[in-house]
Amino acid sequence: MTQPILITGAAGFIGFHLAKLLLMKGMPVIGFDNMNDYYDVSLKEARLSLLNEYEGFAFVRGDLADKAAVFALFSKYHPVVVVHLAAQAGVRYSIDCPDVYISANITGFFHILEACRYHPVKHLIYASSSSVYGGNEKVPFSTSDNVDQPISLYAATKKSNELMARAYSHLYQIPATGLRFFTVYGPYGRPDMACFKFSDLIMGGKPIEIYNHGDMYRDFTYIDDIIGGIERMLSSPPCDDSGTQHKVYNIGNNKPEHLLRFIELLEEKLGVKATKEFLPMQAGDVQRTYADIDDLVADFDFKPQISIEEGLDRFVKWYREYYKW
């Protein structure tokens, strides 16, 4: 690919790692991000400074809700592939600040689809979420499962993204792939996610809040497995026998871990015991996530490989170096 790959949310967790991987392989990357303060902006700036070291990287600061800015981006750079990772994340935050989710996740995604309509691309890959499965009790979660009963606004926006992409793919022949991510963790991760958040609290001597009294399971997926899967998809847009150019995949570790075991492993890696505060289930949360990845394996011969033990080793090593613990 000689034309650039556009990554929205390039200063975010997954976007940064994907951009870095592609730049290391000599692919030109355009990054787009609004650098909002949902969490510590200095972490986003640190990611961005690493990307700016690569000659093939160009960064545009802008907001997805600004349609003119999105169209100007496409007009200037003519991306051949778009990896749309920018969004307002967080299940719990969506309860308190719903407006932000409509602006970023619905209006913002609409602007990306419109830009792909008028500036055709070879492939649009976009982020969905395991949250769309809501309270489904059948496990593992399959993309063929009914996901019409979201239990958070965040989940509803992600399900909406899938429906919007399907419609635009059908109407305007936009090849589009949706990815339902399962609890991604690793270096330069999001501070509001369990791995990072618990580490901060444990090392700061503060109690960690454990919901549903610890009876939770998460399909923790290491960042390198996520970006490895995305890389394989870049030049392989979907097309089934009927000519449909839209497909959704789960991308998860396919091995849910009990939350209390996860905490024990994290304590072991950090060398510090946590003070635990057990609480009831929080609104909008789910008891278990577990990805069925048969389609991912069949279509791309790809399966996540990094165990929770190895992943936490890598995260804690980075965490200690970054914060100089």
242-290 residue pLDDT tens: 777 999 999 999 999 999 999 999 999 999 999 999 999 988 788 899 9
Q: Is residue 170 part of a domain?
A: yes
Model pTM?
0.96
CATH code of residue 82: 3.40.50.720
Residue 1 has pLDDT above 60, yes or no: no
Whether omega for the bond prior to residue 28 falls within 30 degrees of 0, making it cis, is no
Q: Is residue 74 part of a domain?
A: yes
Residue 146, domain extent: 5-182+222-254+289-305
Count of domains observed in the chain: 1
Q: Which of the following is catalytic: 126, 154, 168, 249?
A: 154
Secondary structure of 230-280 in HEC code, one letter for each residue: HHHHCCCCCCCCCCCCEEEEEECCCCCEEHHHHHHHHHHHHCCCCCEEECC
pLDDT digits (tens, 9 = 90+) for 48-105: 999 999 999 999 999 999 999 999 999 999 999 999 999 999 888 998 999 999 999 9
Asked which of 19-23, 120-124, 162-166, 239-243 is least confident by mean pLDDT, the reply is 239-243
Note if 185 is an active site residue: no
Cβ contacts of 100 within 8 Å, gap of 6 or more: 88, 93
- What's the whole-number mean pLDDT along residues 143-172? 96
Mean pLDDT of the chain, nearest integer: 95
Instruction: Look up tokens 């200095």; give the residue.
Output: 42
Q: Is residue 19 part of a domain?
A: yes
Residue 285: what pLDDT?
A: 82
DSSP class of 101:
H
Q: Is residue 228 part of a domain?
A: yes
Q: Is residue 320 part of a domain?
A: no
d(CA 231, CA 229): 5
CA 31 to each of CA 22, 38, 105, 211: distance values in angstroms, whole numbers, following the listed order: 12, 19, 18, 36
Q: Is residue 200 part of a domain?
A: no
